[in-house]
Structure 1
Amino acid sequence: MTATVPPLLVMGEALTDVIVTPTGSRRTRPGGSTANVALGLARLGHPVRLATRIGDDAPGQQLAGHLRCSGVKLTDGSITQAPTSSALARLDAAGSATYDFDITWNPAPQAVDPLRMGSPSHLHTGSLATALPPGAHRVTAAVEQLRRTATVSYDPNPRPALLPDRAEASARVEGMVALSDVVKASAEDLAWLYPGASLLQLAERWIRTGPALVVVTRGEEGAWACWRNGHSRLPPSRVDTVVDTVGAGDAFMAGLLSGLLRTGLIGSGSQGAPDAEATRHALREATTPTHLTDQLAQALAFAARVAALACTRQGADPPTLRELVAGGRS
């Protein structure tokens, strides 16, 4: 990425993860699905701004410092006087997490105001930021306006404990899918949103509503990539030891976006000026063949490697590009 390329914009929640191990010990880590994606993109060498809501308290100061230390810039208004939100993540013996949340998603209007965003080349959002009122309505409105000059990616990442109405949640997700160019969802997400439905059929249905690429992650079983004229199973990237899976899906999302950015399939492309329609055309062309093109295959393999390395660490701690290169993984 060159300095002339408008920064990427991520909109969504940032919070503190309180991680409880199977033995009952606790540790705190900065987290939040969208904040994790912003962090991952910054560590992979991309200029990133995060529009969020972080309290001006001790956890918030730690969280903001953690993000800034990796190069993430917060939009004006992202720091508030309200308490920082948190998530209690309980790990099982395999390192998988279940969550309980104490969150308020009510960002300051100026933090998510499209008129203050300049012209980002790509916008990513998802999870609680697109599901919880009143902030979700502001985020959706911003996406509708910014997608005129930016490509859009989305990860629904629903949290059932906070979304008791499945039908309403599904309708909101489908509305965001239709506004997006790239969508990533986990098999677990889709199983909750559409109990008993075929993952591939759901992905293919979403493709018909707008996005050029839908990726369904399946943990240890890898992922499915779906596009208008085909689909492909993606093998997982193996690691010797899994510490936990906290933030693994967000690391995959950051890796996928990084791979697509570097091939000019999202963002502003090589010319540096926002031209969403030209880039969307390039992405549609890359997803026209019945087989997986080299560009997409490389981006998806890169995403799998980023997620795999993230699983070797505690909490949401995505790797840097230098670490991937040093490990022979780029």
Structure 2
Amino acid sequence: MFVVCGEALMDVYVQESTPTGLLLDARVGGSPFNVAVGLARLGQPVQFLAGLSQDVPGERLMQSLQDESVGTALVVRSPAPTTLSVVTVGRTGVPSYAFHGHGAADRMLDATALPALPAEARALQFGSYTMVVDPVGSALRGLAARERAQRLVAYDPNVRLNVEPDLGRWRAVVQEMAALAHVVKVSDEDLGLLYPGESPAQVAARWLAEGVRLVVVTCGANGSLAWNRHGHAAAPSPQVDVIDTVGAGDTFQAAMLAWLAEHDALPAERLDALDAQQLAALLRFGARAAAITCARRGADMPRRREVA
């Protein structure tokens, strides 16, 4: 079983002007929420660990988790509001986000409220802005530190400067998580923000030296790269008519974790044994899944049969 930790929110898409305002389309979302749904759609048992509001959007998020067969036993309900992420999509399909979440339920989860993990949990997935805002960030980083000896820890920084504009804060958290995680997946865009002037290979080498077992870098239409302690691989991205790229990185993350589970590679020592051919197969699987999401509106992750 996977446990995905982080935020759930409403992505509010700005569609068009009306005579009295704006036409908005609110959809369930949040990077960790998307990863949890993506894993469930790929046939993996998964629980979601997060603070979730009791307001109307929170009830809709809870219903979506249940509809998607994502376990909700680790969800902590709160009277605090749901975060809203206002999304505008440019002509190239690349989204921009404006977050409205100060004091929201996803950020207010603290260490005292963390539920006990089920014994069958084999892997923990962390990422996005809940890792850098407190109290939830401190709670989740503490959870990763406590559990890394017993369970796989996976991490995707998913940098959001409009939530936390201090790159120094992001670098500090990424550095802390690189010392805790067995798997780190990161976009080349995030690497460019965090470590300008360093190549993906240089960053990967440093993280591997600090204890990471598998580093994956996604490069959008230019493919993806992977490194472990014994090898390196690259794979292209499938050509697709892009509707938008919302949720593409989350889809890749879910597909990567599902591939590891399907190939009995979740134990940390098994990650070292993956050869270049296997690393390339992992990247191709993640890229195929992400391409399907890019060909759809919003974070509509594929099901397992679609990525066969």
Match of 2:303 in 1: 320
Match of 2:131 in 1: 130
Write out aligned runs for 1:256-295 (5 A). Answer: 256-266=256-266, 279-286=267-274, 292-294=276-278
Match of 1:270 in 2: none
TM superposition shift of 1:197: 2.3
| TM score, norm. by length of structure 1 | 0.86
Amino acid at match of 1:284: D
TM superposition shift of 1:57: 1.2
TM superposition shift of 1:88: 1.1
The 2-side partners of 1:112 and 1:191 are apart by 33
Match of 1:182 in 2: 183
Q: 1:15 aligns with which of 5, 9, 23?
A: 9
8 Å Cα contact 2:233-2:280 kept in structure 1: no
SS in 2 for 1:19: strand
Match of 1:107 in 2: 109
The 2-side partners of 1:190 and 1:252 are apart by 17
The 1-side partners of 2:196 and 2:13 are apart by 28
Amino acid at match of 2:72: L
The 1-side partners of 2:36 and 2:248 are apart by 13
Match of 2:209 in 1: 208
1:304 aligns with 2:255: no
CA displacement 1:69-103 (0-9 Å, x = unmatched): 11111234522111111111110011111111112
8 Å Cα contact 2:230-2:272 kept in structure 1: no
CA displacement 1:112-133 (0-9 Å, x = unmatched): 34x3443411111111121111
Q: Percent identity?
A: 37
CA displacement 1:35-54 (0-9 Å, x = unmatched): 11001000111111001111
The 2-side partners of 1:22 and 1:319 are apart by 28
CA change 1:207–1:21 in 2 (3 A) is farther
The 1-side partners of 2:113 and 2:235 are apart by 37
The 2-side partners of 1:247 and 1:319 are apart by 11
The 1-side partners of 2:156 and 2:169 are apart by 17
Structure (1/2) with the larger strand percentage: 2
TM superposition shift of 1:309: 0.3
8 Å Cα contact 2:154-2:182 kept in structure 1: yes
The 1-side partners of 2:33 and 2:189 are apart by 21
1:70 aligns with 2:68: yes
TM superposition shift of 1:305: 0.8
TM superposition shift of 1:63: 1.2
| TM score, norm. by length of structure 2 | 0.92
SS in 2 for 1:313: coil
TM superposition shift of 1:191: 1.0
SS in 2 for 1:305: helix
Count of aligned residue pairs for this structure pair: 300
CA change 1:94–1:21 in 2 (3 A) is farther
Amino acid at match of 1:144: A
Match of 1:245 in 2: 245
SS in 1 for 2:206: helix
CA change 1:77–1:262 in 2 (3 A) is closer
SS in 2 for 1:63: helix
The 2-side partners of 1:138 and 1:108 are apart by 5
TM superposition shift of 1:284: 1.3
The 2-side partners of 1:223 and 1:127 are apart by 20
Write out aligned runs for 1:151-230 (5 A). Answer: 151-230=152-231
Match of 1:42 in 2: 40
CA change 1:195–1:188 in 2 (3 A) is same
Q: Which runs of 5+ in 1 are unaligned?
A: 1-6, 267-278
CA change 1:153–1:116 in 2 (3 A) is closer
8 Å Cα contact 1:152-1:179 kept in structure 2: yes
8 Å Cα contact 2:50-2:74 kept in structure 1: no
CA change 1:116–1:8 in 2 (3 A) is closer
The 2-side partners of 1:249 and 1:99 are apart by 15
